[in-house]
């Protein structure tokens, strides 16, 4: 494995030495749990999937579900002004994905991939849950949005930008003490999802695997069964990912769905997960590195800045929000060892809390997925010492230089397996 270098190495070593020193005099170990009343919350990072939307690709059926524009009504409580910039604070980049979605008109008149009223309400509810956790239950965040406390990053896709608006409306009840700026990147260099466009090596590794997944034993037979039940020709390019996408969208909007989709709902989700895992090659460390390594590096860097006493207050925030996708969350959960083999639903969140012990000054991380406590891989308890957590993600983290190197064909040929 590539060892962590530079500041991560030195900081992890210091954290480890401090834990050893603290453990020796008092005999503190796993049998003596940390007194949580002595923990102070220092930082929160939330990675979330956008709210419910229309399907990305309709199923080739005569009796299709109607996606009517009335589903796009904006709930008044979610309305909030925001500005979108590039990462440097300049103009918002062009969004090629939104242009592609507008090329697909669904039956009823809506475009593919549009955030709906249901999705907006889901995101508002997530924002209200975060408000309860970090404004009401403990006075961590100001009750009104403060740009000095919150950093917001989203993929440059309209449903994600709008989902972020709704979350912030719920979190701060539409009250703000400064402009809300959502930072986004060019599609060519985006790292909040596996970037097959930029990362040549990732594209090469996964090329043809989506089609091959549908031919795998078990998946192939089940797919044939569902397509026959729905009257979809075997030659039509419909796999479990398309089936799940339509099924999930129809269900969450209570739209009349095909009986076959309802009958095979559980199987469709499981086979969609199997398909995604086959494409991702989840046991392949380098594949996971290229999929989410740069994003893990961002999350890691935020932690390192927060615990470094030399970091100026202007260079860190209390809350970091990242609007991402199911294809982001799945590999993230795998790298953390907490993937439950269920498809990440709309508006789901992965939350990373950073605490410091008031007396020992030790740092701890606590992880939540879908609002439930998780124990990350490499951690013995849900309250995980920061050095252990950093050690777990260091296996997959890639700084920009390593990411560019691993993604390029020439370097890949020289690196071999990177072991």
**Active-site amino acid positions:** 50, 326
Compute the distance between CA of residue 171 and CA of residue 166 in angstroms, rounded to an integer: 9
At residue 167, the 3 state secondary structure works out as helix
At residue 86, the 3 state secondary structure works out as strand
Computed from CA positions of residues 279, 281, 286, 289, in that sequence, does the dihedral angle turn out positive or negative?
A: positive
Compute the distance between CA of residue 172 and CA of residue 165 in angstroms, rounded to an integer: 11
Strand 383-385 and strand 363-369: pairing? antiparallel
Which element (helix H / strand E) includes 14?
helix 7-26
CB 321 within 8 A of CB 164: yes
211: left (phi over 0), alpha (psi -120 to 50) or beta: alpha
At residue 233, the 3 state secondary structure works out as coil
Task: Give, as one character, the DSSP assignment of residue 144.
Answer: S
Q: In a 10 Å sphere around its CB, with 0-12 CB exposed, 13-18 middle and 19+ buried, how is residue 144 labelled?
A: middle
Compute the distance between CA of residue 276 and CA of residue 219 in angstroms, rounded to an integer: 12
* End-to-end Cα spacing for the chain: 5
Strand 372-374 and strand 363-369: pairing? antiparallel
CB 320 within 8 A of CB 28: no
- Can you read off the two tokens belonging to residue 95? 């969004």
Strand 319-324 and strand 349-357: pairing? unpaired
Long-range interactions of 275-279: CB distance < 8 A, separation 24+: 275/210, 275/213, 275/214, 275/219, 275/239, 275/240, 275/241, 276/241, 276/327, 276/330, 276/343, 278/209, 278/212, 278/213, 278/216, 278/219, 279/206, 279/209, 279/210, 279/213
Compute the distance between CA of residue 21 and CA of residue 381 in angstroms, rounded to an integer: 20
């Amino acid at each position: 494995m590539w060892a962590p270098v530079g500041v991560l190495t030195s900081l992890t070593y210091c954290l480890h030495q401090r834990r050893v020193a603290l453990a020796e005099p008092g005999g503190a170990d796993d049998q003596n749990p940390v007194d949580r009343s002595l923990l102070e919350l220092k930082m929160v990072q939330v990675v979330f999937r956008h709210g419910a939307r229309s399907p990305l690709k309709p199923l080739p059926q005569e009796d299709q579900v109607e996606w009517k524009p009335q589903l796009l009504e904006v709930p008044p409580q979610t309305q909030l002004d925001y500005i979108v910039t590039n990462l440097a604070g300049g103009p918002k980049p062009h969004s090629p994905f939104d242009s592609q979605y507008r090329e697909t008109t669904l039956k009823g008149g809506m475009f593919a991939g549009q955030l709906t009223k249901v999705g907006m309400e889901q995101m508002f509810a997530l924002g209200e849950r975060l408000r309860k956790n970090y404004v009401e239950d403990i006075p961590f965040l100001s009750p009104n949005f403060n740009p000095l406390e919150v950093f917001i990053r989203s993929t440059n896709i309209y449903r994600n930008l709008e989902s972020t608006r709704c979350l912030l409306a719920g979190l701060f009840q539409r009250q703000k003490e400064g402009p809300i700026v959502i930072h986004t990147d060019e599609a060519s260099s985006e790292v909040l999802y596996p970037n097959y466009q930029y990362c040549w090596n990732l594209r090469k590794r996964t090329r043809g695997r989506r089609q091959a997944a549908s031919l795998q034993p078990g998946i192939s037979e089940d797919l044939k069964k569902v397509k026959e039940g729905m009257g979809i020709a075997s030659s039509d390019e419909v796999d479990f990912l398309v089936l799940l996408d339509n099924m999930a969208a129809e269900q969450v909007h209570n739209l009349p769905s095909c009986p076959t989709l309802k009958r095979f709902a559980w199987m469709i989700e499981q086979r969609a997960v199997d398909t995604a895992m086959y494409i991702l090659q989840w046991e392949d460390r380098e594949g996971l590195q290229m999929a989410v390594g740069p994003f893990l590096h961002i999350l890691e860097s935020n932690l390192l800045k927060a615990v470094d006493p030399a970091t100026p207050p202007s260079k860190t925030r209390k809350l970091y929000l990242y609007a991402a996708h199911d294809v982001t969350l799945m590999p993230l959960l795998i790298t953390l060892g907490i993937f439950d083999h269920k498809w990440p639903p709309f508006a789901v969140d992965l939350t990373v809390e950073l605490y410091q012990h008031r007396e020992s000054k030790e740092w701890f991380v606590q992880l939540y997925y879908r609002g439930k406590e998780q124990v990350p891989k490499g951690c013995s308890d849900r309250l995980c010492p920061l050095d252990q957590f950093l050690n777990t993600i260091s296996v997959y983290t890639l700084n920009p230089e390593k990411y560019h190197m691993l993604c390029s064909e020439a370097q890949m040929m020289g690196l071999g397996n990177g072991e």
